[in-house]
Structure 1
Amino acid sequence: MSQEIRNLEPKALWNKFADLNAVPRPSKKEEKVIEFIKKFGNSLGLETFEDEIRNVIIRKPATVGMENRKAVVLQGHLDMVHQKNADTVFDFETQGIDMYVDGDWVRARGTTLGADNGLGVAAMMAILESKDIPHPAIEALFTIDEETGMTGALNLKGGILKGEILLNMDTEEDDEIDIGCAGGIDVTATREYFEEETPEDAVGYTITVKGLNGGHSGMDIHKGLGNANKIMNRLLFGAFENFGLQIAEINGGSLRNAIPRESVAKVIVAGMYSEAYIFDMQPIIKDIKNEYKTTEPNLVIEITKSEVTPEMVMDLGTQEGVLRSIYAAHNGVYRMSADMEDLVETSNNIARVIVKEGEISIGCLTRSSVESSKFDLANALRSAFELCGFQVELSGSYPGWTPNVQSEILDVLVHIYEKQNNEKPKVVACHAGLECGILGTNYPDMDMISFGPTIHGAHSPDERASIKSSQKFWKFVLEILQNIPLK
């Protein structure tokens, strides 16, 4: 990691981010970072403990003169999305993130950066370590597994936290103050299929879709970006109908909350159709690239003859149903909010498609700020897959966060933002899944707000954090702490 990261201003923030990013912390593999945070809290002589699910809480008393202010919960999540480019050799379970400075941006080499939510966590650490930052009594809540299930927030019991105000530092545009977010539910479709022996005259091909932008399946879902799983299905569907193509394997997408960037399929085509298949697929490829020329200029679609022809393929009856069900399954924006301008209300991301050795698994993440709409779309997806004989599981449901425009802490943040920046902030609700809605189920009286520095490309190897924005964010945080309302 470049030493230049540690020399960035504010050094208190970037040094803690560099310390954090040296510790492996992929979702569901947070053991090392949990111990790191506990050791950090104990080294400061502060009350530090885990709850039953392994969230870490560190308490710091108010500084002199701030004892009469309401206690504040600073909250961020320890885990990060572990995405890398296909040609990047990297082990998220053993390696720290390799960062570098690119103009106003901090980036990682070939992987996600972990600024989501590492910069929020780093700010919490810097405040806990500080000796000259005025603040009320603080509870720093470091949650686990936010990115793949909100497990930490879902299992935080009522009564543990004493604070009256919660500052969640996990949003990605520095001119926005979030007062609401979407909930979500996982829709997972699975089924088995009969494997047939490949005909003797068949020719094997590998189809590759790559070069897509990917991104956050909530924050970026409205941008018209390509979904590698849907594009791959389109390619397979056309060739199945025209050339009797049969599927041996599909490996598409990766994480439930990341828009799929890549998909690879191994297929066969009857030898008599081999040349015609390659020729006739070119106009389809051209059409797809033309459709995405603005949003996905780097899209690559390759069809190459396989060195080894697959020995087994999916039976044609099942294959037809699978391709039609994926075609029918909704992907992208389902409904825009009627109450907040430009807010996506409900959406779905077909995140993962796996076909191998007689088993099929399709994973979706459905999001909505309206519970009834969330389940409406989930049931639509379930219906599309069940018509093809899939077993469909709805799991991991978590609630959204209902906006409170009368929030006392919202008034404080708006006033400070206007004073510091000579303009009004955007008070918004987001389509991402923030932990505030979940935490609010056990802490219904806690006044919650969410904000953060500018981060682009979250959940993809293009993730980058603005240096200038981090300075703005840090200044904002410090003044918020000095202006927490009286008890």
Structure 2
Amino acid sequence: MSKVLNEIDYKNIFKYFEEISEIPRGSGNMQAISDYLVSFAKEHNLEYIQDEFLNVIMIKEATSGYENAPAVIIQGHMDMVCEKDSSSNHDFEKEGLELVIDGDYIRANGTTLGGDDGVAVAYALAILSDDTLKHPRLEVVITTDEETGMDGAIGLDTSPLKAKYMLNIDSEDEGVILCSSAGGLNGTVTLPLQYEDVTDGNQALKITVKGLKGGHSGAEIHKNRTNASIMLGRILMKLGKTKEFALSDIFGGTKHNAITREAVATIVVASNLVDDVKSEIETISSEIIDELTTSEPDAKVEVVACNDKAAKAFTKDCKDKIIYMLVTAPYGVLVMSSDIEGLVESSVNMGILRIVNDAVEFNYSVRSSLNSYKHFVSDKLELLAKSIGANYLMDSEYPAWEYKKESKFRELLADVFKKQYNREPEVTAIHAGLECGIISEKMEDIDIVSIGPDMADIHTPKERLCISSTKRVYDYVVAVLEAIK
């Protein structure tokens, strides 16, 4: 693979970013990227641990004069969210990313970039490979499967770690120091399906909702972005008021932590009513799209006749229950924080809608700064599931990262920031989940902050990483390490 980033490389950051971008590293596909990190550690004579979860810890001892300084963890995750345009044939299991330099940004051709959290890995490797830097003992902790439930962090053994400070590099806004994040859980509603035969004289129609922005279901849930699966449910609900149809297939979204950009349903109607049904769908869709002119300017709904005849469809009872779940389950921002202006306190996103083993699954990502409210939302989903005869499973729960009123590390980062940028940083919290909460529970006295360079549209194929910001934040991290005495 050609080295696209050579021309912009800075202190080896983009060299390492490109190397990890050549390795397929979607969540659940961690072996190759984990082994790459081990090879790096061996090449640079670093002490390392690769555990059963494929987490990798790399340790570099303090430089001269820093032997008595508090050790610091540099932490991020090696997996990425794999999303692509509908026109892309990219195979995330086998192929590296096709990187593109676009002005002051790096993006990938038709896919997510993996700047979340490849930039943390690139920073860590650049720092570990540079023997000219001054720093205390460094404990680089790169975890696995953060994007699908933080399994790596949950399984991480922190007993080999001596650090008093931890710098998490998994944020997307330069100049912002994060000191708290939401906890979360996944909730899956599973509705068993029953089928009925489709008689002759019918036509299958495929309805596709597309062109929505999508985005991170935590960091961008407050941006009034429409969930394609829920929009599709709304169309089907309204259509059912005036037209008879059967539902034979439905799906939308592939990641629980991404706002769904596209959703598809296949319906079956009487052949002599095809034009009437298509016209009705277009009318319903136009009304909804008019509502979204500002928030979702590229929203589209397509209706096409299917060449293949549907042999069976869901029973009317199943169809009604699916639509009911789509339009009545909670979605989006539920509660705003009373303590921090502009911060989402609790939210829920339905990220995956799919048919599996003759059942339809609705997968929800629930986030909240309050453990009690997080479980209230989960209980509400369970209640809805029971009301339609579906099953409910809660899993992948992770804790909130609670705010510390006293933080020497936060004060140090603010002081270094003011010297480098000649202004005050913004110190705040984030609604997205971070591994900081899990690690802070394992290491009771650890003092943690989270930072990162500017990124946009993460968890979507429009994801991009700002080149100039990446350089500045790297220099900032190096200055922070040098200031720890």
**Range of TM-score over shorter length:** over 0.9
**2:379 is the counterpart of 1:379:** yes
Q: What residue is the counterpart of 2:121 in the other structure?
A: 121
Query: What is the deviation of 1:4?
Result: 4.3
Q: What residue is the counterpart of 2:83 in the other structure?
A: 83
Kept after mapping to 2: 8 A contact 1:2/1:99: no
Query: What is the deviation of 1:158?
Result: 3.9
Cα distance in structure 1, aligned partners of 2:157 and 2:206: 49
Kept after mapping to 2: 8 A contact 1:57/1:139: yes
Query: What is the deviation of 1:2?
Result: 5.6
Cα distance in structure 1, aligned partners of 2:127 and 2:322: 52
Once the two structures are superposed, what CA deviation does each residue of 1:77-105 show, in whole Å capped at 9, x if it has no partner?
Answer: 01111111111111112111110111111
Cα distance in structure 1, aligned partners of 2:53 and 2:296: 40
Query: What is the deviation of 1:271?
Result: 3.2
Q: What residue is the counterpart of 1:208 in the other structure?
A: 208
Q: What residue is the counterpart of 1:222 in the other structure?
A: 222
Letter in 2 for 1:42: K
Structure 1 stretches lacking a partner, 5+ long: none
SS at match of 1:3: coil
SS at match of 2:308: coil
Kept after mapping to 2: 8 A contact 1:250/1:356: no
Cα distance in structure 1, aligned partners of 2:331 and 2:312: 30
SS at match of 1:7: helix
**2:445 is the counterpart of 1:445:** yes
Q: What residue is the counterpart of 2:25 in the other structure?
A: 25
Letter in 2 for 1:162: K
SS at match of 2:167: strand
**2:51 is the counterpart of 1:51:** yes
Kept after mapping to 1: 8 A contact 2:4/2:99: no
Query: What is the deviation of 1:401?
Result: 0.2
SS at match of 1:45: coil
Kept after mapping to 2: 8 A contact 1:183/1:367: yes
Cα distance in structure 2, aligned partners of 1:382 and 1:425: 42
Note closer, same or farther for the CA distance 1:158–1:130 as it changes in structure 2 (3 Å cut).
closer
SS at match of 2:242: helix
TM-score normalised over the length of structure 2? 0.98
Q: What residue is the counterpart of 1:7 in the other structure?
A: 7
Query: What is the deviation of 1:325?
Result: 2.0
Kept after mapping to 2: 8 A contact 1:9/1:471: no
Q: What residue is the counterpart of 1:320 in the other structure?
A: 320
Once the two structures are superposed, what CA deviation does each residue of 1:236-270 show, in whole Å capped at 9, x if it has no partner?
Answer: 11222321221101121110111101111111113
Q: Percent identity?
A: 34
Kept after mapping to 1: 8 A contact 2:417/2:476: yes
Letter in 2 for 1:401: W
Q: What residue is the counterpart of 1:34 in the other structure?
A: 34
Query: What is the deviation of 1:7?
Result: 2.3
Q: For 1:237-252, what aligned pairs fall within 5 Å after superposition?
A: 237-252=237-252
Kept after mapping to 2: 8 A contact 1:243/1:270: no
Once the two structures are superposed, what CA deviation does each residue of 1:291-320 show, in whole Å capped at 9, x if it has no partner?
Answer: 111121111101111112211100001211
**2:358 is the counterpart of 1:358:** yes
Q: What residue is the counterpart of 1:467 in the other structure?
A: 467
SS at match of 1:147: helix
Query: What is the deviation of 1:385?
Result: 2.1
Q: Across the two proteins, how many residue pairs are aligned to each other?
A: 485
- RMSD of aligned alpha carbons: 1.3
Query: What is the deviation of 1:412?
Result: 0.4
Cα distance in structure 2, aligned partners of 1:2 and 1:334: 46
Cα distance in structure 1, aligned partners of 2:326 and 2:19: 43
Q: What residue is the counterpart of 2:70 in the other structure?
A: 70
Once the two structures are superposed, what CA deviation does each residue of 1:334-384 show, in whole Å capped at 9, x if it has no partner?
Answer: 101111110001101111111367321111101111111111111112212
Cα distance in structure 2, aligned partners of 1:222 and 1:384: 24
Structure 2 stretches lacking a partner, 5+ long: none
Cα distance in structure 2, aligned partners of 1:403 and 1:262: 36
Q: For 1:88-487, what aligned pairs fall within 5 Å after superposition?
A: 88-355=88-355, 358-484=358-484, 486=485
Letter in 1 for 2:321: G
Letter in 2 for 1:128: L
Greater Cα offset, 379-388 or 462-471: 379-388
Letter in 2 for 1:240: G
Runs (4 or more) in structure 1 with deviation over 6 Å come to none
SS at match of 1:363: strand
Cα distance in structure 1, aligned partners of 2:468 and 2:251: 39
